[in-house]
Structure formats: structure tokens, C-alpha cells
């Protein structure tokens, strides 16, 4: 019987997708990379693998009847331990190392290619659960004003430039000025830092928009940016007016809770086309 593998990283998305797949009648193969535990903290029977032993892991998926896979959750490039590389994976090492030197996106594309060579098709989380992304429009009661729309346009232009350098998927703009850029520590760290700055820097422009979008040219089957209720709380703590995100390509975790919190805080949630 054909099965789907859920390959998880950090965060709540793997748990959400695992539950969705089971409700839909699937018996998913649950897997996660060593060092990025998520599913195994709450479930038994999770396949744990290392990039240094990628070929045995792919062989294991084939033995379990896996023909499809979905990636969920955040994973950073791991450090490879040469002593753990098995002979079959060693033959792929030039491809893997070459991709890792080009950045996260190239690494993920290479992993997708290798899975395809093993007859495993990678799908996006949004393909399995279309309701996790939003169509263009405003989700809650608050509407972005003209200044907000201008700040969002500026923010998305910045994200285009950031993405070309494989840096991050988020930034904050207020009155045309970039106040924060998302890097490896992630969204929560960026917004918490901005909230702290605002307590000590009254000269910073008030308000602002948190902008979130995939990198230009990013393979949307993997590593989609995600927002959740905690993002709304962090945006409020940072004194922002709202969140603008790319319609159709940003995952929304607990959408109803997000909208309720945004409405209570007077923040807008805008899926920007």
C-alpha cells in the first residue's frame, strides 16, 4: 500500500499535519532529522535519520511503501560528521556538499531531487491542507491604511533583496524605514528584539508592518514560512499595526485564533497578492 512520509522539523506544524493526515485516513510514516526533534517528543515509532546516512533512510522509506513525502517544520543545515557517513551516502557527498555551500534553498532542492530519484514525490503542506494558506484579502476586522500599504510594499521589496542573498523571510518596516530583518534566529527573536529596542529608543518611528513571504524562486513544496497566534502576540508587543504576508504561500497555524487575537489587539492580517 502506498504511504506518505511526514518529515518533520521544529515547531507545531508537524503535529498539525500528522493529525490532519490521520483524520484523512492515512497511516503516515513519521520521520525527523536527529537534532531537530518534534514528533518524537509526543509520539512513538518516529523514524530518526541523519543526513550523513541519507541513502539508508531513503531505502527505509521505500521498504515502508512510501511514494509521497511532505516536509513540515524548521530545519537548519546540520554539521556533517564524516565518521558517520555510510558508503552509499558517501557517493552522494559531492552533490550534498555542493548544495550546502550554495545555501538552504539549494540544499533543500537537492534533497527533493534525491527523493525523486528514489521514486518519492515531495508535496507541499499547502497541497495536502489547502486551508493552511490564505487567499488574497484581509482576514480580520482591522484594515491596513494607506501608510500601512506603502510600508508593506517597501517590506516586500526588501524581502526580494534578502531572499536573493538566501537570508530570511521576514522584516519590519515603519514609515518607509526598515526596523528589523529576520535572520537565522527567526521571527520570534526578531520581534522580541524590536520590542526591546522600542523600550529604549523612543526615536524609532511608531507603528509599522511585519512582512512575511517566501524567498524569490523558493521551491514552495518545502520550508514555507509560517505564522501563528504567537506571531500576533509578538507583533502587538513590538508596537506594530499589523502583519502583511504573501497570499497562498505562507502557512497559518490556528487561523481562527490568529484572527481573534488580531481583532482583539486591533491589528490587521493582510494576505497580500
Closest by Cα among 11, 259, 218, 232 to 124? 218
Give the helix/strand (H/E) hosting 110: helix 104-117
Q: Sorting pLDDT into bands at 50, 70 and 90, what band is 149?
A: very high
Please tell me the total count of domains within the chain. 2
User: N- to C-terminal Cα distance for the chain?
Assistant: 40
Same domain flag for 112 and 197: no
Q: Which domain holds residue 64?
A: 3-128
226 forms beta bridges with: 251
Same domain flag for 66 and 187: no
Q: Sorting pLDDT into bands at 50, 70 and 90, what band is 10?
A: confident
Same domain flag for 167 and 101: no
Same domain flag for 84 and 154: no
pLDDT at 57: 95
Same domain flag for 117 and 7: yes
Same domain flag for 29 and 116: yes
**End of a domain among 83, 113, 128?**
128
pTM higher than 0.85:
yes
* Averaged pLDDT for residues 84-91: 93
Same domain flag for 172 and 119: no
Q: What is the CATH number of the domain that holds 211?
A: 3.40.140.80
Residues 6+ apart with CB under 8 A from 51: 33, 78, 80, 96
**End of a domain among 128, 143, 177?**
128
Instruction: State yes or no: pLDDT of 217 exceeds 90.
Output: no
* Averaged pLDDT for residues 69-79: 82
**End of a domain among 93, 128, 163?**
128
Amino acid at each position: 500500500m502506498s504511504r506518505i512520509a511526514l518529515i518533520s522539523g521544529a515547531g507545531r506544524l508537524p503535529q498539525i499535519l500528522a493529525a490532519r493526515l490521520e483524520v484523512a485516513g492515512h497511516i503516515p510514516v513519521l520521520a525527523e532529522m536527529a537534532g531537530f526533534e518534534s514528533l518524537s517528543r509526543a509520539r512513538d515509532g518516529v523514524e530518526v535519520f541523519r543526513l550523513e546516512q541519507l541513502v539508508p533512510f531513503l531505502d527505509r522509506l521505500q521498504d515502508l511503501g512510501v511514494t509521497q513525502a511532505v516536509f513540515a517544520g524548521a530545519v537548519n543545515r546540520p554539521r556533517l560528521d564524516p565518521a558517520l557517513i555510510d558508503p552509499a551516502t558517501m557517493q552522494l557527498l559531492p552533490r550534498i556538499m555542493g548544495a550546502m555551500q550554495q545555501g538552504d534553498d539549494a540544499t533543500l532542492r537537492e534533497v527533493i531531487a534525491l527523493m525523486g530519484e528514489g521514486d518519492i514525490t515531495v508535496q507541499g503542506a499547502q497541497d495536502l491542507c489547502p486551508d493552511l494558506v490564505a487567499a488574497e484579502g484581509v482576514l480580520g476586522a482591522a484594515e491596513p491604511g494607506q501608510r500601512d500599504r506603502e510600508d508593506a510594499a517597501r517590506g516586500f521589496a526588501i524581502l526580494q533583496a534578502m531572499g536573493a542573498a538566501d537570508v530570511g523571510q521576514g522584516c519590519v518596516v515603519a514609515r518607509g524605514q526598515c526596523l528589523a530583518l529576520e535572520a537565522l534566529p527567526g521571527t520570534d527573536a526578531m520581534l522580541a528584539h524590536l520590542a526591546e529596542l522600542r523600550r529604549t529608543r523612543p526615536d524609532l518611528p511608531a507603528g509599522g508592518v511585519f512582512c512575511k513571504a517566501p524567498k524569490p524562486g523558493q521551491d514552495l513544496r518545502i520550508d514555507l514560512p509560517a505564522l501563528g497566534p504567537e506571531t500576533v502576540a509578538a507583533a502587538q508587543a513590538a508596537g506594530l499595526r499589523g502583519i502583511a504576508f504573501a497570499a497562498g504561500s505562507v502557512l497559518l497555524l490556528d487561523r481562527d485564533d490568529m484572527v481573534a487575537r488580531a481583532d482583539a489587539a486591533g491589528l490587521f492580517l493582510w494576505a497580500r497578492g
